[in-house]
Amino acid sequence: METKVLIIGANGQLGSVLTKTLRNKFGGKNVIASDLIMQENSEGIFEEIDATDICRIQEVVVQYSITQIYHLAAILSAKGEENPLSTWEINMKTLFNVLEVSRKNSIDKVFFPSSIAVYGEDAPLENTPNDAYLNPATVYGISKAAGENWAYYYFIKYGLDVRSIRYPGVIGYQSLPGGGTTDYAVDIYHKAVLEEEFSCFLNEDTTLPMIFMEDVIRATIELMDTPIENITVRTSYNVSGISFSPSEVVAEIRKLYPDFSVNYKPDFRQDIAARWPKSIDDSRAAKDWGWKSEYTLEDITIIMIHKLKEQYELNSKHLETLLHRN
Ligand code: AKB
């Protein structure tokens, strides 16, 4: 049977890039992007879906004879703390809806992203093992830890092939993150290219696990392509890219922008970051499906600066053309 993919949360930081990759892989007509609203520049097949509405998910799944679902919609760590109960409600309800529709429609494979946010102070925070104790301190982390267990439950009880990765902070030039504790690591590159001062909401020495967009997309596809018998982790796989602190990324950026200026104003996100791992042991992913990250901080910095410069120059040329059109 032909693979037909539904992406829920396709407008997001990862969703927008993953949608393009999956369209290249499976063909445009076989990948249905969805989110709360359709964006003006949206390309390809798009359906508006509020994932808290199970009937709407069911409708789209039947309409397109969907065989795989990527459920990327969630409220992230920092934003989630503004309203813990509604974050829990949204993150869990959307997951249950996806799991239930998938079970009832015999969906082949489901992808559910988890996060390094599932860990807390009781795990070793250096080289954190896949099966370390989980005591998350944010509602986002609690919802991801619970989600991992529900993924496991649906696999054991119903044989639903749910696969998951604990994403580190994702860095990419293609899209912007929103509401996360690791968002600074994208914003900082935008400020550098715009030659503006950067105000960092974390302390300069706060080391966190991060991953480049190209790596995280490849990890997701590799996991989804892995033969079912090789998958031994049914909660979620640790996947590591690189680890760095704000001061380390600043040092890299200053190799290209020596005058780049930064001030540190740690806020509530510092307390979240302080309880997260500094580095991740991803040996289970390496063993089961050959995972290996390909980008260093130096690589990421060079690519981010180059691509963002290109984008800002293109945008200002486009603006000039628009201004002088009449
Ligand atoms: C966040 O900062 O909340 C996310 C994550 C690490 O899951 N980027």
pLDDT of the chain along its 326 residues, tens only? 799 999 999 999 999 999 999 999 999 999 999 999 998 888 999 999 999 999 999 999 999 999 999 999 999 999 999 999 999 999 999 999 999 999 999 999 999 999 999 999 999 999 999 999 999 999 999 999 999 999 999 999 999 999 999 999 999 999 999 999 999 999 999 999 999 999 999 999 999 999 999 999 999 999 999 999 999 999 999 999 999 999 999 999 999 999 999 999 999 999 999 999 999 999 999 999 999 999 999 999 999 999 999 999 988 887 788 777 75
Distance 313 CA to ligand 1 centre (A): 29
Rounded to the nearest 10 degrees, what angle do helices 297-323 and 184-193 cross at?
Answer: 60
List of residues 6+ apart from 102 with CB closer than 8 A: 69, 110, 154, 160, 162
- State yes or no: is 257 an active-site residue: no
Distance 177 CA to ligand 1 centre (A): 9
pTM to 2 decimal places:
0.96
| Among 14, 72, 76, residue to substitute to test ligand 1 (most atoms within 8 Å of Cβ) | 76
167 DSSP β-pair partners: 115
List of residues 6+ apart from 314 with CB closer than 8 A: none
Residues in contact with ligand 1 (CB, 6 Å cut-off): 76-77, 115-117, 140, 167, 169, 180-182
Which pLDDT score is estimated for 323? 76
Which atom of ligand 1 is found nearest the CA of 177? 8
Which pLDDT score is estimated for 291? 98
